[in-house]
Chains A and B, each alone.
Chain A
Amino acid sequence: ILNVEQSPQSLHVQEGDSTNFTCSFPSSNFYALHWYRWETAKSPEALFVMTLNGDEKKKGRISATLNTKEGYSYLYIKGSQPEDSATYLCADPGGTSYGKLTFGQGTILTVHP
Chain B
Amino acid sequence: NAGVTQTPKFQVLKTGQSMTLQCAQDMNHNSMYWYRQDPGMGLRLIYYSASEGTTDKGEVPNGYNVSRLNKREFSLRLESAAPSQTSVYFCAGSRPGQAEKLFFGSGTQLSVL
Residues on A lying within 8 angstroms of B by beta carbon are: 1, 32, 34, 36, 42-46, 49, 51, 89, 91, 93, 97-106
Is there contact, CB below 8 Å, between B50 and A46? no
Q: Which residues from A are CB-within-8-Å of B105?
A: 43
Is there contact, CB below 8 Å, between B102 and A89? no
Is B48 part of the contact surface with A, judged by Cβ < 8 Å? yes
Q: How many B residues, CB 8 Å from partner?
A: 25
28 chain-A/chain-B pairs, Cβ below 8 angstroms: A1-B59, A32-B99, A36-B102, A43-B90, A43-B107, A44-B90, A45-B104, A46-B101, A46-B102, A46-B103, A49-B100, A49-B101, A51-B99, A97-B100, A98-B31, A98-B100, A99-B31, A99-B48, A99-B94, A99-B102, A100-B58, A101-B43, A101-B102, A103-B43, A103-B44, A104-B42, A105-B41, A106-B42
Report whether over half of chain A's contact residues are helix, strand or loop; otherwise say mixed.
loop
Q: A98-B50, A100-B48 are in contact. List 9 more A-B contacts (CB 8 A).
A: A34-B102, A43-B106, A43-B107, A44-B90, A45-B104, A46-B102, A49-B99, A99-B101, A101-B43
